[in-house]
Each structure stands twice: as structure tokens, then as C-alpha cells.
């Protein structure tokens, strides 16, 4: 087969999206149904310190007062005099239970410090102590009681004083036991409902409280209109859920009443957006109604479901039937007996809907039971196709599982749609594909598009076959029988696979690890980095059907010094967990229910959709599995982390997209608490296909750190951490995010790490013994100038990958950092990679690229490597030191 000649690759271009898509009916089915329509717990810790009286041992100057650390403004700070000790304390106003303390340090941070509580600001009790502080944004889980809380610094990490952007204390005011939780049961289910009108006999009021998300109430086309439900007795209402059909309310109120005559408003809006809405409310009454005053369309008001949650209700964790689980409406399960035409119609409908749906809310999983099929799977955004066998060969598709570059304009020609640089967020897993004679499989993808545990009987092409651009990608645990043509792929990572037909092509950074049939080591021309073995890895858990017709999740065993696939020589090693041991989480499920399930020892399976979180998902049990289907998306609404994992053995997080919410989260995913020290080498926590996004969607996203790893021996297996460079709510001062990855633990390993566009160091590595195999980075597109984008000490810009000066051992292979300073091409980054000059710190096969010559990277690593700029756009370093 002829080697495709790669055209000059180009950076991703901003997508000009015309409108935000209306949430489709299919996405909302079951969103607020029965006991799975649950509110958050009222007992979640709340922010107690903001705006409270605060004092300090000293201040550096009048511009850095103590009050700046509790004003909620991350752009102001307190700083002390340059001596030890120093302290900052806040008066909460009453004795309170303290559960969490958040410290957002400026560059001048504390190496040693304590967090203390007191009832009188005189006698202090330490509730947290460290001598190995790392600075940055720290979220500390603590247990203590007091009216006063202070941070006491005893040893500075720099020659300056102590400096905090924000000091936050979270807990329960007054120190009393937490109030009763908001129950997860839907108190309106099947209760008596009435309405001001109905459109026709097929849309009665009762249809909105029947637990069936396929039936609806609709009113006549006039204002105002209302729907009310009789709860049967007076109850304290804490949350209301509205699942709108396309005809929604622009302005409406939620009201409660004891007599259905005199009403009290507990929620009001004039900017309703429709879709799936949930509101925390506070009110008491027997009757609850939604009163629409201005329609969002020319039609009446229409609700699929109207749910009501009440205080004191139970937090029910539904039982999962492993033979007949309810995956919700966005999961399609096909069997060999399903008519081929019916299967193809569904595949085509999803493909058409998701073809250009880059930032829409729809999510889909397309699952095939063991057997043989004839089908053409054209994967669009937020779509997962997967087999339900224990081996990929248990499911065979005669046809295609493909991704095309056929929708995004390339260059200046509107008719050239060969651009694959935004083909994100989709996956193919655990299938075999037999291609029609004489045809190829096109897998034209960029980031967050894993090809896992696949067997392709034929040839693969990783681009559009013309002059198209592509910026991927990831293959693992797969067998490809024909040749792979990489074409214009700028970078690609292939791990533990069998390339029986070989590999053809390279652009900047192609890395092969533990892969049979990989090309030999030859960097930089061609840019092939080949690593013989994978030192320690666990493959991603996956859903499958056993011989008895029961769903299980298979957790592959940990492998050491491995090559090739897990399944090529028979049944894979690992553990099967019955789906009965999982809580199946659907959109609308409350975070309280999720955490109750975890506390009860259950694992989690998130179904496709947007899962709004009122508090952090707290994983505290060793060996817990958290698995997402169909790019299930977690979005924290209140500035918390989406997931926090305790410092325990063997947790698996897999198949999840985490979106930052509108309230800044200090960290979005955290593995282990600060100061974690346990050895997990025999059973590490692992993360697989974990993608984190800051902005780009219709929701403004902000987070200081996307992923922080405090535990030791953690494995990352395909991560894309992305501060959005295009889409909605994207600007230097909008979707703010300092760092993508911060590693504080020792012996942490990353396989296939993509980190892009953050505003400071993209990756910070503070732990010893770290290893990275393949790193892809683009620096931010939008720094306004070097005056506002600099890590200091005479440096211009921030490095893409920073190994702390205190680190003695670190290794990395196959790394690339690219500059495209679109906002100001005169911006300069002093270097792509910044590391200490120590014998134990070794980097191999690095590249720096000035994309189209727009921007400059002066050196590749430290002060080594030629400048990448307009005149010399690509610069390589084979070995450092």
C-alpha cells in the first residue's frame, strides 16, 4: 500500500457554531422519573468563611490585606511579612463543624503549616498538619469544631512571606448535627394532578406525574397556565424537577400552598431555558404547582415530568437487576435477532444527530450482544459503540466502525471538509470488524477518541486520505490485521497492541509501547519512539454479558512488563463484578443517592447524559469501580470537585467526561487527599479515558486545577485535559484554569497524556519516580501578551511540562509542545519543558512546534533545542540531558 504523504498540519481552528441545540426528547426520557429523580443532600458542607471578619499576624502592604483572602475574588490576595511564623484567621460568628478547608496559594506558599480551630481565638486545636506543602490549590478534608479557624504557617517555601488568594472554610454553621436530608423519592409520583387546561385528551395533567417520561402534559397556547399536584399531606418541599418538552416556560414560578388557594412562591425565573431543570427550594405545603407566565414558544406549556422532593424522605438506592437493567433511553442494546434494518436505522439516526454536535448535551451508547451483524457505524460526537462479549471476537460487525473527516472546514476553502482536528469525544471498544473486500477503515480522529480492545480485519487509515489535518490519537489492547496509514496525524500513541500489517507514516510524535509489529525506534526522522514493554498497566474495565444472560463489569488484571493484547491468547485475566453490585446512575439522579450508594459498598455505572452534581462524588472504598457509558458527563454546579478519591487501593475511574461548572472549582478530580503517603504499588488506582473540559459548552466553566494526584502509584491511561480554545464562553478572562495536571504523589505513571491551553504550567510534577509515555500539548492560544503571561524569574510564558526542582527522579518519552499564539503572535514561551538538571531526570524524544509560525518557543527543554518560530517551525531534541 502506498504511503500517504502528509500535508503540512495546521492547528485546530475555532468552530463557528450557529446555535445551541435544543435538548432532544430522547435525552430527557427518564431524566426525572420515579425514585431516581433525586435532589442533593441538604447536609453537604457549605462555605462559612466568605466575607466574615478576618485578621492576620501581619500584612506585606496595604494592597494585600487579610480581608482579600475571604472576599471570594481569586484576583485579590493576603500576603504576610517575610518571616516565620505567620497566621491568618477567620471568625465564623458561631461555633461550627468544619469539614473542609481550601487554600489557594499564590507563588509564595507554606512548606510547613497547620490548620487550627478555636472557640476563643486563644486556645487552638490543630486539625491538619504538614511539613511537605506543595502550594497551588489545596483542598483539605478535616474534622473539627470551633468559631475561629486559622492557617498557621511555620516554614515558608520561598524567600517571600505567605500569600493566599483565597482561604475557604466549609462545614455546618453552629456545630449542630446536619439537618434532615432532602429525600430522593419523588413525592409527586402518581399523586392527583390538575391543570389550568390541556391541549387535548392525550396530554392530561396526570401524564406529568406518572413516572413515564414518554407521556406528557400540554396546555393550550395561552398565558398564564399552571400544573399542580396534591401531595396528600403538608410536607416540606426541598426540590422540584421539571422535564420540559420542546414547548417550555420562559417565565414561570414554583409555588406551594396548604389549601390550593393561597400560594407562596419558592422559585421564580424569567430566563427559563427548557430542557431538564431542577431547583433547590424551601417551602411547606400540601400542594405544589408550576405557574407559567410567559411561554418560550408559540405553543402551550408541555412537561414530560414534574417531580417534587421533600425533607426527611429516604435516600433510596435502587436495586439493579443484572438480567434486565434500566440503562435509560440513551443506551441501545442490539442482539443478533434484531432486524438489520432496525439496527441500521438507529445507527444512522444517531450518526446524523451527532455529526456536527460538538457541544450539544446529547449522549449515546450503542451496545451489541455477542453474535454477528452487518452494520455501518459512523461515529459522531458523544457516541460510544461497544461489544458485550468477554472477547472482542465475540461480536463481529461485517461493515464499518468509522470516523470521517467530512464536516469541518479546512483552510480557506469552504468546500474542503477534510479537517479532523475537532473529531473529539467518541469511542469504539471491544468489537471485531470485518471490512468489505477492497475497502479500508477510516478512523480520522483527534483527542478523546479511543480505539480500545478492537480487532480490525483489514486496513486502517487515521486521516481523511486527502490533504486533511488530524491531531490524535490513541489505540490500546487492539489487533489490526492490515497496515495502518497515519497520514497527516500530528501525533499518535499506540499501546499494548498487535499491528499485524505494520505502520506507515509519521509527522511529529508517534509513540509505540508494548506493541508487536511497531516500527523500530527512529526519532526524529521518521518521528517514531518505540518502547519495548509497558512496565505496569491495567486495561479499562468494560461491560459484558455472561453465558447466563447477566450483565457484569470485567476488571482486567494488573500486568507488569507486558506486550500485546490481553485477549489474544484466550480469556483475559481479571475479575468479573455482577451489575447487581452497581448503582446505575441516570441523569437527574441526586448526588446524595450516588454517595449513599458508594457508602453502601456499591460501584457506579453512569449512563449517557449530563449529570449535574450538587456536591463531590466521594469514593472512599478500595477497589471501587466508577464507569461511564456513552461519554457520561459530570458537571459540578457549586464549585466543588466532581470526584474525590481517598488514598486507598485499586479504585478505577473510566469512561467519563468532566465539565467545569460556572462556579470555580479549586480542583475537578482529586486522587488522594493532600499528604497521602500509602504505598499502592501492588494495587494502584487507575484512570482510563478520563477527559476534563474547561468551557466551550453553553455553560461557563472555571476550575483552578483539572486533575490533582496526591496518592502514590497512580496510573493514568489516556487522559485529555482541555481548557477550551473554541466554542462558547471561551476567552482569557472567561474559562479560566491555571493547571491541567498536578502530580504530588510518588511513582505515578501516565500513558497517553494530552494537556492543552491552560493559563499557567500545563502539567506540574512534584512527586518522585514519575513516568510519562507520550505527551501532547498545545500552549494557550489566547495570552494577551508576555507581561500577563509569565512564570517569573525572567521567563517568558509558562512551560508545558514542569518538573519541580525538588524532584530527583523522573522519566518521560515522546513529548510534544506546540505554540499557536493566535491572540498575539508576538508572544514567546521560553521553553516547552522545564526540569531540574539531575542525573535521575531523563527525557527522550521531544519536539516543539510553532504551528504555522504563529508564536515562538525559544528552547525545547530548559535552554536546549533550537527555537521554533516562523523561520524554523519544528525543533527536536533526542535526549536530555
Residues catalogued as catalytic: 778
**Sheet with 828-834, edge to edge strand ranges:** 617-619, 643-645, 665-671, 703-709, 739-743, 763-765, 801-803, 828-834, 856-861
Which residue, among 450, 445, 437, 427, has the nearest Cα to 497 in the 3D structure?
450
Count of other CB atoms within 10 angstroms of residue 452: 26
Nearest-5° Cα angle at 507, 505 to 513: 70
Query: Phi/psi zone of residue 584: left (φ > 0), alpha (ψ -120 to 50 degrees), beta?
Result: beta
Chain centroid, CA 126 distance in Å: 34
Strand 331-334 and strand 364-368: pairing?
parallel
Q: Based on the number of CB atoms within 10 Å of its own CB, is 418 exposed (0-12), middle (13-18) or buried (19 or more)?
A: buried
Distance from C-alpha of 190 to C-alpha of 361, rounded to nearest angstrom:
29
Paired strand residues for 194: 228
Contacts by 295-298, CB closer than 8 A, 24 or more apart? 295/221, 295/223, 295/247, 295/248, 295/249, 295/250, 296/247, 296/248, 296/249, 296/250, 296/272, 297/246, 297/247, 297/248, 298/221
Evaluate the omega torsion of the peptide bond into residue 881 and state whether it is cis, within 30 degrees of 0.
yes
- What lies within 8 Å, CB to CB, of 203 at 6+ separation is 216, 217, 218, 302
Contact in structure between 701 and 694 (CB atoms under 8 Å): yes
The grid coordinates listed for 379 are 461515529
Q: Based on the number of CB atoms within 10 Å of its own CB, is 191 exposed (0-12), middle (13-18) or buried (19 or more)?
A: middle
- What lies within 8 Å, CB to CB, of 533 at 6+ separation is 513, 514, 561, 562, 563
Distance from C-alpha of 382 to C-alpha of 361, rounded to nearest angstrom:
9
Strand 217-218 and strand 78-79: pairing?
unpaired
The grid coordinates listed for 695 are 468551557
Chain centroid, CA 95 distance in Å: 36
The grid coordinates listed for 845 are 524524544
Distance from C-alpha of 784 to C-alpha of 223, rounded to nearest angstrom:
48
Three-class SS of residue 599? helix
Residue 170 φ then ψ, to 5°: -120, 145
Beta strands in 388-508 (DSSP E): 395-402, 426-429, 432-434, 441-442, 451-452, 455-457, 460-461, 474-476, 479-480, 484-485, 491-495, 498-499, 503-504
Which residue, among 418, 284, 275, has the nearest Cα to 360 in the 3D structure?
275
Distance from C-alpha of 714 to C-alpha of 686, rounded to nearest angstrom:
6
Amino acid at each position: 500500500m502506498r504511503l500517504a504523504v502528509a500535508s503540512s498540519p495546521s492547528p485546530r481552528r475555532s468552530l463557528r457554531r450557529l446555535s445551541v441545540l435544543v435538548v432532544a426528547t430522547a435525552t430527557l426520557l427518564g431524566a426525572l422519573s420515579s425514585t431516581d429523580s433525586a435532589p442533593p443532600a441538604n447536609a453537604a458542607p457549605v462555605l462559612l468563611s466568605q466575607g466574615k471578619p478576618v485578621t492576620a499576624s501581619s500584612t506585606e502592604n496595604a494592597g494585600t490585606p487579610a480581608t482579600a483572602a475571604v472576599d471570594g475574588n481569586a484576583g485579590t490576595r493576603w500576603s504576610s511579612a517575610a518571616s516565620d511564623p505567620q497566621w491568618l484567621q477567620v471568625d465564623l460568628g458561631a461555633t461550627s463543624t468544619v469539614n473542609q478547608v481550601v487554600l489557594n496559594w499564590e507563588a509564595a506558599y507554606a512548606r510547613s503549616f497547620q490548620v487550627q480551630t478555636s472557640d476563643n481565638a486563644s486556645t487552638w486545636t490543630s486539625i491538619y498538619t504538614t511539613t511537605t506543602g506543595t502550594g497551588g490549590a489545596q483542598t483539605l478534608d478535616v474534622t473539627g469544631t470551633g468559631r475561629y479557624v486559622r492557617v498557621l504557617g511555620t516554614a515558608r517555601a520561598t524567600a517571600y512571606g505567605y500569600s493566599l488568594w483565597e482561604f475557604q472554610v466549609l462545614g455546618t454553621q453552629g456545630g449542630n448535627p446536619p439537618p434532615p436530608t432532602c429525600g430522593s423519592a419523588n413525592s409527586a409520583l402518581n399523586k392527583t394532578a390538575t391543570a389550568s387546561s390541556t391541549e387535548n385528551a392525550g396530554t392530561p395533567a396526570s401524564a406529568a406525574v406518572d413516572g413515564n417520561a414518554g407521556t406528557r402534559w400540554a396546555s393550550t397556547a395561552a398565558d398564564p397556565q399552571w400544573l399542580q399536584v396534591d401531595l396528600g399531606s403538608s410536607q416540606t418541599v426541598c426540590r422540584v424537577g421539571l422535564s420540559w418538552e420542546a414547548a417550555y416556560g420562559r417565565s414561570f414560578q414554583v409555588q406551594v400552598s396548604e389549601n390550593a388557594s393561597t400560594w407562596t412562591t419558592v422559585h421564580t425565573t424569567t430566563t427559563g431555558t427548557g430542557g431538564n431543570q431542577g431547583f433547590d427550594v424551601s417551602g411547606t405545603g400540601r400542594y405544589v404547582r408550576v405557574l407559567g407566565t410567559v411561554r418560550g414558544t408559540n405553543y402551550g406549556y408541555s412537561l414530560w415530568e414534574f417531580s417534587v422532593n421533600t425533607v426527611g424522605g429516604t435516600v433510596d438506592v435502587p436495586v439493579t437487576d443484572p438480567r434486565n437493567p434500566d440503562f435509560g433511553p440513551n443506551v441501545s442494546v442490539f442482539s443478533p435477532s434484531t432486524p438489520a434494518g432496525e439496527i441500521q436505522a438507529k445507527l444512522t439516526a444517531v450518526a446524523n444527530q451527532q455529526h456536527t454536535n460538538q457541544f450539544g448535551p446529547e449522549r449515546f451508547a450503542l451496545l451489541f450482544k455477542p453474535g454477528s451483524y452487518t452494520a455501518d457505524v459512523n461515529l459522531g460526537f458523544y457516541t460510544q459503540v461497544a461489544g458485550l462479549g468477554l472477547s472482542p471476537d465475540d461480536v463481529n460487525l461485517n461493515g464499518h466502525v468509522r470516523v470521517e473527516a467530512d464536516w469541518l472546514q479546512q483552510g480557506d476553502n469552504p468546500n474542503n471538509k477534510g479537517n479532523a482536528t475537532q473529531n473529539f469525544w467518541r469511542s469504539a471498544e471491544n468489537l471485531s470488524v470485518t471490512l468489505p473486500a477492497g475497502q479500508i477503515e477510516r478512523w480520522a480522529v483527534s483527542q478523546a477518541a479511543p480505539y480500545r480492545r478492537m480487532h480490525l480485519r483489514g486496513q486502517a487509515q487515521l486521516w481523511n486520505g486527502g490533504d486533511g489535518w488530524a491531531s490524535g490519537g490513541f489505540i490500546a489492547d487492539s489487533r489490526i490485521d492490515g497496515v495502518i496509514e497515519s497520514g497527516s496525524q500530528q501525533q499518535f500513541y499506540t499501546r499494548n497492541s498487535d499491528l499485524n500489517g505494520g505502520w506507515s507514516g509519521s509527522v511529529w510524535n508517534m509513540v509505540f509501547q508494548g506493541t508487536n509489529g511497531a516500527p523500530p525506534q527512529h526519532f526524529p526522522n521518521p518521528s517514531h519512539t518505540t518502547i519495548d514493554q509497558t512496565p505496569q498497566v491495567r486495561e479499562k474495565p468494560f461491560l459484558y454479558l455472561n453465558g447466563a444472560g447477566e450483565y457484569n463489569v470485567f476488571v482486567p488484571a494488573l500486568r507488569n512488563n507486558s506486550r500485546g493484547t490481553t485477549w489474544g491468547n484466550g480469556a483475559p485475566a481479571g475479575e468479573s463484578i455482577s451489575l447487581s453490585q452497581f448503582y446505575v446512575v441516570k441523569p437527574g439522579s441526586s448526588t446524595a443517592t450516588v454517595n449513599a450508594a458508594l457508602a453502601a459498598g456499591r460501584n457506579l455505572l453512569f449512563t449517557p447524559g449530563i449529570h449535574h452534581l450538587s456536591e463531590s462524588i466521594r469514593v472512599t472504598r478500595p477497589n471501587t469501580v466508577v464507569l461511564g457509558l456513552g461519554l457520561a458527563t459530570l458537571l459540578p454546579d457549586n464549585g466543588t470537585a466532581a470526584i474525590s478519591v481517598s488514598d486507598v487501593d485499586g479504585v478505577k475511574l473510566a469512561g467519563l467526561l468532566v465539565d467545569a461548572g460556572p462556579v470555580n472549582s479549586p480542583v475537578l478530580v482529586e486522587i488522594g487527599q493532600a499528604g497521602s503517603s500509602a504505598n499502592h504499588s501492588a494495587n494502584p488506582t487507575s484512570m482510563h479515558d478520563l477527559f476534563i473540559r474547561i468551557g466551550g459548552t453553553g455553560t461557563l466553566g472555571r476550575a483552578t486545577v483539572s486533575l490533582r494526584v496526591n496518592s502514590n502509584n497512580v496510573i493514568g491511561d489516556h487522559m485529555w485535559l482541555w481548557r477550551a480554545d473554541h466554542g462558547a464562553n471561551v476567552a482569557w478572562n472567561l474559562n479560566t484554569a491555571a493547571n491541567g495536571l498536578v502530580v504530588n504523589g510518588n511513582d505515578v505513571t501516565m500513558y497517553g497524556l494530552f494537556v492543552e491551553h491552560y493559563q499557567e504550567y500545563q502539567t506540574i510534577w512534584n512527586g518522585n519516580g514519575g513516568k510519562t509515555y507520550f505527551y501532547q500539548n498545545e500552549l494557550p492560544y489566547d495570552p494577551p501578551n508576555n507581561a500577563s503571561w509569565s512564570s517569573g524569574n525572567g521567563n517568558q510564558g509558562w512551560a508545558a511540562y514542569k518538573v519541580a526542582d525538588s524532584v530527583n527522579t523522573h522519566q518521560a518519552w515522546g513529548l510534544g509542545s506546540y505554540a499557536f499564539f493566535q491572540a498575539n503572535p508576538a508572544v514567546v514561551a521560553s521553553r516547552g519543558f522545564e526540569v531540574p538538571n539531575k542525573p535521575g531526570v531523563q527525557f527522550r524524544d521531544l519536539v516543539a512546534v510553532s504551528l504555522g509560525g504563529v508564536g515562538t518557543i525559544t528552547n525545547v527543554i530548559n535552554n536546549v533545542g533550537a527555537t521554533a518560530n516562523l523561520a524554523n517551525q519544528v525543533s527536536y531534541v533526542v535526549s536530555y540531558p
